[in-house]
Amino acid sequence: MKRDDIELNGSKILKLALLSYSQQNLEALRRVVSSWDGAVAITGTDGGLELAAPLAEQERPDVLVVDSRCEHAGDLAALETTTARFPAMTVILLCPNASPELLRDAMRIGVRELLSAPPDAHALLAALERVRQRLDLNKPSRKAGRIMSWIACKGGSGATFLASNFAFALAAPESKRVALIDLNLQFGDAALFLSDQAPQTTLSELVREIRRLDSALLVSSMIHVTPHCHVLAAPDNLEEASLIKPEHLDTLLSVAASHYDYVVLDLGRSLDALSLRALDKSETIFLVIQLTLPFIRDCKRLIHALNALGYSRDRLSLVVNRYEKGGDISIQDAERVLGQKIARIVPNSYRAVAASVNQGVPLLKLAPRDAVSRALAELAETVEAPAKPGGWLRDIFRR
């Protein structure tokens, strides 16, 4: 199983597993490595070297720190089976009185570092830092995926429909991997807009596994609408939803952005600690309105609140949905009241959209020539290549 990188400020964060024959040593080791900002998901087990393989199997760590008495000839052999099975994992072995022969044998079986036990805290942290630097150097330079959020200015604006079909449109060229994550914890229904499959795993179930979350686990927890477009469903009920904390989102979004080119979030319409954490990580925040007064009123409040929370107007992208020419309120009226340009217009297309929503089939698949499909495909294109003026010009002509 492959484990993609979790990054902090461009550097890989290591997932560590600790194994010691003594509970006391284990706690001491845990204290040392916890003081280091390069580690995440530190797990520990007290027991002999026979536990190394099951621990590696369960946790898939980047680094396994093994504290052993190194007394028996068979000790290294037990470790050798582990290093052979998990060649990408770095093993640091702690031994009291390590002889040159032991050092040589340990290296031969794939132990990268041998430190004396109990380890000097600096020596252990320096060894971990060397591992991190090596993994950073080995890492193919892949930019983190782009995170984009969708919020409804008011219920029923079409935010979920647009977010899900936008995610599908981004994945359509098949060169990009896209994750749609339903963060509407109360009324999440995004998965239903793209698929009729029942989700195997929801966001709350994944959060229970957050300590061992990596891209392989994330990908296997999602509904695969196409090979490149995956959806993580919202929790089934409010009780489950209450398990999800802002710090879980940090890990989830880091892992998602390390694997996917785009991470599209449906935030529903609440501003709370969770959605703010998601917004902090979003380069663009799409706000969905329709051209009627109640929508515009709520949208004005929402823009005001977002500005007050420090999200600048250039990160907000206003999308008018279900647009029909000749309505009471024009695009220019809305822009004047909101004090913000409308970035995108998506027309009304009742029949086609209702068919897509009822069948759980993406609109771009069901009716690729529909005006709404074209608008979403253009939006995806613009996001992919922001410098291209075509989409914007077309919008101007459409007004």
Asked if the bond preceding 227 is cis, omega within 30° of 0, the reply is no
List the interface residues with ligand ATP, window 279-298 (CB under 6 A).
Answer: 288
The encoded tokens of residue 144 equal: 């983190």
Contact status, residue 264 vs residue 181, Cβ threshold 8 Å: yes
- Compute the distance between CA of residue 28 and CA of residue 99 in angstroms, rounded to an integer: 24
Q: How far is the CB of 38 from ligand ATP (least distance, A)?
A: 39
- Compute the distance between CA of residue 284 and CA of residue 224 in angstroms, rounded to an integer: 24
Neighbours of 360 (CB within 10 A): 15
231 binds ligand ATP (CB under 6 A): no
Taking CB under 6 A as the criterion, the residue among 73, 100, 137, 350 binding ligand ATP is: 350
Taking CB under 6 A as the criterion, the residue among 25, 82, 321, 373 binding ligand ATP is: 321
Residues found near Mg ion in the complex (CB under 5 A): 160
- The residue among 13 and 379 lying less far from ligand ATP, judged by its C-beta, is 379
In the block, tokens 């999200």 appear at 311
Neighbours of 9 (CB within 10 A): 6
119 binds ligand ATP (CB under 6 A): no
Q: How far is the CB of 279 from Mg ion (least distance, A)?
A: 16
- The residue among 56 and 185 lying less far from Mg ion, judged by its C-beta, is 185
Buried b (16+ CB within 10 A) or exposed e, 231-269: bbbbbeeeebbeebeeebbbbbbbbbbbbbbbbbbbbbb
List the interface residues with ligand ATP, window 20-39 (CB under 6 A).
Answer: none
Q: Which stretch binds ligand ATP (CB under 6 A): 91-99, 150-158, 327-335, 382-390?
A: 150-158
Taking CB under 6 A as the criterion, the residue among 177, 269, 277, 281 binding ligand ATP is: 269
Q: How far is the CB of 222 from Mg ion (least distance, A)?
A: 19
- Compute the distance between CA of residue 68 and CA of residue 88 in angstroms, rounded to an integer: 21
Q: Sketch the per residue contact string, 158 through 187, with ligand ATP: x for CB under 6 A, - otherwise.
A: xxxx----------------------x--x
339 binds ligand ATP (CB under 6 A): no
317 binds ligand ATP (CB under 6 A): no
Indicate the SS3 state at residue 91: strand
Choose the contact partner of 397 out of Mg ion, ligand ATP, none; CB within 5 to 8 A by kind: none
Strand 262-266 and strand 178-182: the pairing is parallel
Footprint of ligand ATP on this chain (CB under 6 A)?
A: 152, 155-161, 184, 187, 268-269, 288, 321-322, 346, 348-350, 353-354, 357, 372
